Every structure is written in C-alpha cells, then in structure tokens.
Amino acid sequence: MAATWYIKTMERNVSDGGVTVAHWRVRDSETVGDNTYAAQSYGSCSFTPDPSASDFVAYSELTESTVLGWVHSEVNKDEIEASLTAQISEQKNPTQSNGIPW
C-alpha cells in the first residue's frame, strides 16, 4: 500500500492568516493473509509567511494538498516512506526478539 500523508493541524498568524507551522503525519500498512502490518511517522515544518509575496496563500484559502506540497519540499519524503517500508518489513520478518529462555 502507498503511504498516506495528511496534515494533523496548523499554527498561523491571526493577523494575516499566514501559516507558521504545519504538523504532519504519514502512515503505511500492508496486509498479508490475516495480518496487517503498519508504521507511521510524524513531524512538523516551520514556515515564515510573507503576506506581500505573490505566492502567499492565506489560511482561509489553503487546501491540504497545498500544505502537503510545502511539507514535501521541506522533508525527505522518499526517505521517510522508505523508513516506513523498512519498519513494516521488520514486523513481517523480525531480526530481533526479546524475552527470557525459561
């Protein structure tokens, strides 16, 4: 399954509607037989909005797709998704275990 990215919440300037922080999450999962393996990651990106810039988008005009575009330009999307894939692989085929032998 492909990773699903979404914006959990945002922080903004009340005075001009400029977004200062976007909090994101990404999830991935894979079902094999009766088992579902899942992994997720989260983080935040900070921005310095400039209301006088030609590409400024006020809070009221934003879409999740626009904000995800900003986030993807700030993080290493491929590396994060590869990490989720590795976590799922580890769940399916563990290389470490814990417990006691008795």
* Chain segment 39-64, per-residue pLDDT in tens: 999 999 999 999 999 999 989 999 99
pLDDT tens column, 18-34: 999 999 999 999 999 99
Alpha carbon distance 65, 45 (integer Å): 15
Q: Which residues contact 25 (CB under 8 A, 6 or more apart)?
A: 5, 6, 8, 40, 41, 42
49, burial (CB in 10 Å: exposed 0-12, middle 13-18, buried 19+): middle
Do the beta carbons of residue 58 and residue 49 sit within 8 Å?
no
